[in-house]
């Protein structure tokens, strides 16, 4: 692949997001029942719901990457995205550690497969991204990005104090 030297290959990107997911799962496995129920300040959701949000987000990101790579825009708006997240959070209330771990394991497989399949041409594509107010979003930026996971896992860590 003829990529810029500091841009990792799709295989390396997939490995990075798989490693991030492994960190999430390892942390979830150590949460006590009391920690699992604590509220994350940034999101206003329990740790359980934020962890579910991360795991579900793998599936969402895979869909966004496929959509942009196929030349289509990501519809919506920041408000619709927030409303969708809130609805999904309400559905996830009461989710168990085991359920979130299973979801994270299943959805990371999908995301990693999508990322591994990308070509240089795919990575170069971008389109208007509704959740960001229609600003352009590139496949390159979405593929292998740890930002979503790291941001929310940081919030979980802050809520449980470790």
Domains and CATH numbers, the chain: 10-160 (1.20.120.450)
At 122 the pLDDT is: 96
Confidence band, pLDDT 50/70/90 cuts, at residue 3: very low
Asked if pLDDT for residue 19 goes beyond 80, the answer is: yes
Quote the percentage of the chain above a pLDDT of 90. 92
- Are residues 125 and 31 in contact, defined by beta-carbon separation less than 8 angstroms? no
Q: pTM value?
A: 0.91
At 7 the pLDDT is: 56
Give me the long-range contacts of 123-127 (CB less than 8 A, separation at least 24).
123/3, 123/7, 123/10, 125/68, 125/69, 125/71, 126/68, 127/67, 127/68, 127/71, 127/72, 127/73, 127/74
Label residues 36-54 b or e (16+ Cβ within 10 Å = b): bebebeebebbbbbbbbbb
Asked if pLDDT for residue 11 goes beyond 70, the answer is: yes
Asked if pLDDT for residue 116 goes beyond 70, the answer is: yes
């Amino acid at each position: 692949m003829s990529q810029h030297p500091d841009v990792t290959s799709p295989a390396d990107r997939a490995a990075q997001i798989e490693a991030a997911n492994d960190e999430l799962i390892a942390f979830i496995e150590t949460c006590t029942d009391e920690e699992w129920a604590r509220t994350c300040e940034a999101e206003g959701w329990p740790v359980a719901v934020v962890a579910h949000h991360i795991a579900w987000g793998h599936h969402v990101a895979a869909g966004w990457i496929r959509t942009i790579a196929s030349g289509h825009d990501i519809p919506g708006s920041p408000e619709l995205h927030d409303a969708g997240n809130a609805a999904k959070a309400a559905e996830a209330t009461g989710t168990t550690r085991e359920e979130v771990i299973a979801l994270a394991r299943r959805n990371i497989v999908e995301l990693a497969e999508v990322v591994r399949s990308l070509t240089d041409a795919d990575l170069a594509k971008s389109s208007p991204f509704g959740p960001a107010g229609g600003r352009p979003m590139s496949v390159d930026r979405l593929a292998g990005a740890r930002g979503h996971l790291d941001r929310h896992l940081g919030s979980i860590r802050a809520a449980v104090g470790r």
